[in-house]
Structure 1
Amino acid sequence: MAHPHGVRRRVHVGDLQPGDHACLLFESDEERASILRDFVLAGLDAEDKILYLSGAEDPPGPGALWDECRLTSVPGGPAGRVEIVRLAEFLTGCGQLEPAALMRRLRNAAERSREEGYRALRVAGDLCAALHDGHGATGALGVARLLRYEALLAEEFSSGGALAVCQYDIRHCEPAALDAFASAHARSVEADPLVRTAGLVVVRTYRPQGLRIEGVVEAAVHRQLRDALRSVAAVRGDVRLEMSRVEFLDLGGLRLLMTFARARAARHATVELGGLPPHLRQVITLVGWDRTPGLRLGDAHAC
Structure 2
Amino acid sequence: MSAQHKAVGDMRLGDHLCLFFDNDEERRSIMADYVRDGVRAGHKVIYISDAVGAPDVLGWLLGEERAVPGAELTEAMEAGHFVVRTAEETFLASGRFDPRESLELMATEIDLALVQGYRGVRIAGEARFSLRRWPGTDQHGDFERMLDEVFMTDDLKAMAICQFDRRWFGAARLADLESCHMGRVRVNDYHDDGTLRITPIFGPPGAELAGVIDAATRPAAERVLESISTRTGLLCLDLGGLTDCDEGGLRLLTRADRPDLGPDRGLLLRAVPPVIAERLRSSGLVALPGVSVEDAPG
9-18 or 45-54, larger mean C-alpha shift: 45-54
Structure 1 residue aligned with 2:72: 74
- Cα distance in 2 for partners of 1:101, 1:131 equals 19
Structure 2 residue aligned with 1:271: 268
Pair 1:229-2:189 in alignment: no
Structure 1 residue aligned with 2:6: 11
Q: How does 1:128-277 map to 2 (within 5 A)?
A: 128-133=128-133, 142=137, 144-159=138-153, 160-207=156-203, 209-233=205-229, 238-259=234-255, 266-267=263-264, 269-274=266-271, 276-277=272-273
**Distance change in 2, residues 1:175/1:262 (3 Å):** farther
Pair 1:48-2:46 in alignment: no
| Distance apart, 1:289 and its partner CA | 2.4
DSSP 3-state at the match of 1:184: coil
Give the TM-score, by structure 2 length: 0.81
| Distance apart, 1:186 and its partner CA | 2.8
Pair 1:35-2:33 in alignment: no
| Distance apart, 1:89 and its partner CA | 2.0
| Distance apart, 1:36 and its partner CA | 0.8
Identical positions, percent: 27
The Cα RMSD (Å) is 3.5
Structure 2 residue aligned with 1:282: 278
**Distance change in 2, residues 1:14/1:280 (3 Å):** same
DSSP 3-state at the match of 2:211: strand
Give the TM-score, by structure 1 length: 0.79
- In structure 1, list runs of 5 or more residues that go unmatched: 3-7
DSSP 3-state at the match of 1:30: helix
Q: How does 1:114-129 map to 2 (within 5 A)?
A: 114-129=114-129
Q: Deviations over 1:108-134 (max 9, x none)?
A: 111122222322211112111221248
Structure 2 residue aligned with 1:5: none
- Cα distance in 1 for partners of 2:63, 2:205 equals 21
Is this contact kept in 2: 1:21–1:154, CA < 8 A? yes
Is this contact kept in 2: 1:19–1:163, CA < 8 A? yes
- Cα distance in 2 for partners of 1:37, 1:155 equals 27
Aligned residues: 290
